[in-house]
Structures are given as C-alpha cells and as structure tokens.
Amino acid sequence: MPEAFGCPAPNCDAWFKRPEEYTNHMVNSTKSHREASYVLLGPYQSLFADGEKKLEEAEQHLREIEEPFLKWWGEFGSEERKLAEKEFLHELEHDSFPAQGEPVFKQRWLDATSIWDEW
C-alpha cells in the first residue's frame, strides 16, 4: 500500500491514504483548486499519467463511435434528422427491448434525444 500523501495544491491541507481519495478530492474541489499549478509526488505521477492516457484513449474511441451516429442523426430540422427520427421511432415501436413492455411515448423519446443537439 502506498504511503499517505498530502494534496500538492497550495494552501490545501488534505491528506490521502490511497490515490483514489486524491482523485475524488480533485473531482469535488473548486475549479481554481484543480487548475492550480503543482506537481504530484513521484510514485503518483505515473499512476495519474497512465490514467490520463487511458482516459484520452477512451475519449478518442467515443468520438470515433459518435461521429457516424451524429452524421446519421443530422442537424435539428434537417431532412436527415426527420428521416433519422422516423427510423428511431420505428425501431422503438418494433423492438421490445427499449420500451421493455411499456408503451412508447414518441415525444418523450424525441425530447430525450435532444441531448445530441448540444454536441
């Protein structure tokens, strides 16, 4: 088990017994705390560097998956979007898995898909 270590951010007196405690601390800290310029202790630098690399790879994989979907989905109000919505609703109405035995409320599903307009 690694040795306990303190938060390297200036003016922070938090101590951690495990690296994941530090991660949680940083996620829940203020933006200025996360953006402070500091260096982690040696043994932890490689742990977080590995995690950062894995995160970047996962984000790249997600972009590769999203790109063809978003192209198919089209812009709000476009012909591509109208066709995609039709296909989407047809799938919902004819595939029992998404509805899981419940009636399909088209507007609810279309409202839920509006999150893709923000990307």
Higher-confidence position of 38 and 62? 62
Rounded Cα distance, 80 and 111, in Å: 17
- pLDDT tops 70 at residue 104: no
CA distances (Å), origin 16, targets 11, 34, 94: 15, 16, 52
Rounded Cα distance, 44 and 61, in Å: 26
Mean pLDDT along residues 82-103? 74
Mean pLDDT along residues 49-71? 89
Q: Are 43 and 2 in contact (CB under 8 A)?
A: yes
pLDDT at 32: 61
pLDDT at 60: 94
Mean pLDDT along residues 29-41? 68
